[in-house]
Amino acid sequence: MRTLIAIPCMDQVAAPFAHSLATLEKTGECVISMNIGSLVSDARNQLTKQALANECDYIVWLDSDMIFPPDLIPRLIARAEEGNDIITGIYFHRRAPFGPVLYKKLRKGEPAEKYNDYPEDSFFEVEGAGFGACLVKTSVMEDVALNYGTWFSPLEGYGEDVSFCMRARELGYKIMCDSSIKCGHVGQVTVDENVYKENFREALIKNAGNSETGASNNNDGV
């Protein structure tokens, strides 16, 4: 079993990420590769080519501003060996309201629906996810390339990782989330599940007060 740990990044990485990377447990043969550049879609395409050239079974995508549990890779691979093709842990946006980087509904030409009410500590299907801590079988990458000629070239109005999700789903692949694999997103604060829950609770209270007074607030805090 061979896995490429693929990291698109700028010229520097966050110190907490470096610590998480250093403490990662490995399963089988794991090779770490970074692609440095400002165009994330191109970095992901180049890392995918490397994984295929080296006959890897899996690509584990890690963003360079993430922290994750040491057993991330064994847990993702265990899910893959159960027959799942694309599996993500759970992490959250760095800005309020800190929603999960998951999509309950993601269809071309339709408004995207974030998965704010995701089931905790569960394994469930999503229609899209960020690739901050995600495993993809290389067989999926091969299939997407054969059908689309690209992996991560952004579709209009969408990021490169979400664009890949759309292509994969059109080919019949399911995207699964294991929300028991909890990751942090490094910003001015490290955003994890507890930060999201507290912020979401405060937003509910604030919105309830607005409803009573007839006021409205569409500011998402970004």
Specify whether the CB–CB gap between 60 and 135 falls below 8 A.
yes
Q: List the one residue out of 60, 97, 95, 100 whose CA is nearest residue 77.
A: 60
Q: What is this structure's pTM?
A: 0.85
Give residue for tokens 């629906």.
Answer: 113
Give the mean pLDDT of 64-82: 97
Q: How confident is the model at residue 211 (pLDDT cuts 50, 70, 90)?
A: very low
DSSP H helical ranges for 8-98:
15-22, 40-53, 72-81
117-172 confidence digits (pLDDT tens) = 999 999 999 999 999 999 999 999 999 999 999 999 999 888 999 999 999 999 99
Orientation angle between helical segments 138-148 and 40-53, nearest 10 degrees? 120
Which domains does the chain show, CATH number per domain? 2-213 (3.90.550.40)
